[in-house]
């Protein structure tokens, strides 16, 4: 018991002794170095580079036409071709997976709830989405036509020419 009390006393006295030793250090060498650095003459500062003035240009059309007014001699634009029956509905609100290219999406499985089969699709960020027939995916107005056990089938509407559209089949296969 005496031994434990003696050890405790020594341990209690040790931190004050160590801290007292910190104040006894000679700071003279450090102060001498600081004075020597302050006494050095300052180095000259490099002058800033000279800035070249920017040459201005004033456009004087003279006999030339003004580039900011429409040319009276231009032919009228061709009328826009009528919208075909296959044109995508541009007023429809886009679904989240329509912001991804099909090749960046991965089908990782299926899920069946209340008689409806859902496809599980993972984005490149790792977010899992549940899709079913009628949902849209991909950047080419792709609408899901069938969710199978091993693939999701889509019908995309792509533009052939301005105002001309065609359908094409696409598949997102299950990845392992």
Domain ranges of the chain: 96-173
Q: What is the reported pLDDT for 1?
A: 66
Q: What is the four-CA torsion angle of 145, 148, 151, 155, rounded to 10 degrees?
A: -10
| Beta strands in the chain, from DSSP E residues, in sequence order | 106-113, 116-122, 128-131, 136-137, 142-147, 151-161, 164-173
Q: What percent of the chain has pLDDT over 90?
A: 49
pLDDT in tens, 101-120: 999 999 999 999 999 999 99
- In this structure, whether the domain defined by 96-173 belongs to CATH 3.40.50.1970 is answered with no
Q: How confident is the model at residue 23 (pLDDT cuts 50, 70, 90)?
A: low
Cα separation, 38 vs 175, in Å, equals: 70
pLDDT in tens, 72-102: 665 556 555 555 677 888 888 999 999 999 9
Ramachandran angles phi, psi of 77, nearest 5° = -65, 150
CB 87 within 8 A of CB 160: no
CB 158 within 8 A of CB 142: no
Ramachandran angles phi, psi of 15, nearest 5° = -60, -45
Q: What is the reported pLDDT for 63?
A: 84
Q: What is the reported pLDDT for 104?
A: 93
pLDDT in tens, 144-159: 999 999 999 999 998 8
Q: What is the reported pLDDT for 65?
A: 79
- Sheet of strand 142-147, all strands in order from the earlier edge strand to the far edge: 136-137, 142-147, 151-161, 164-173
Q: What is the pTM of this model?
A: 0.52
Cα separation, 92 vs 3, in Å, equals: 86
């Amino acid at each position: 018991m005496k031994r434990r009390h003696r050890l405790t006393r020594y341990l209690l006295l040790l931190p004050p002794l160590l801290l007292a030793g910190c104040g006894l250090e000679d700071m003279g060498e450090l102060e001498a170095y600081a004075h020597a650095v302050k006494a050095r003459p300052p180095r000259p500062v490099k002058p800033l580079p000279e800035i070249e003035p920017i040459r201005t240009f004033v456009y004087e059309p003279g006999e030339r036409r003004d580039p900011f007014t429409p040319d009276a001699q231009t032919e009228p634009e061709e009328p826009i071709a009528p919208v075909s029956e296959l044109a995508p509905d541009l007023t429809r609100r886009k679904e989240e997976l329509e912001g991804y290219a099909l090749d960046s999406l991965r089908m990782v499985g299926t899920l069946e709830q209340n008689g409806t089969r859902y496809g599980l699709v993972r984005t490149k960020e790792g977010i899992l989405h549940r899709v079913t027939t009628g949902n849209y995916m991909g950047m080419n107005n792709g609408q899901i036509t069938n969710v199978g056990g091993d693939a999701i089938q889509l019908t995309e509407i792509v533009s052939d020419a301005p105002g001309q559209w065609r359908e094409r089949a696409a598949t997102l296969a299950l990845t392992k």
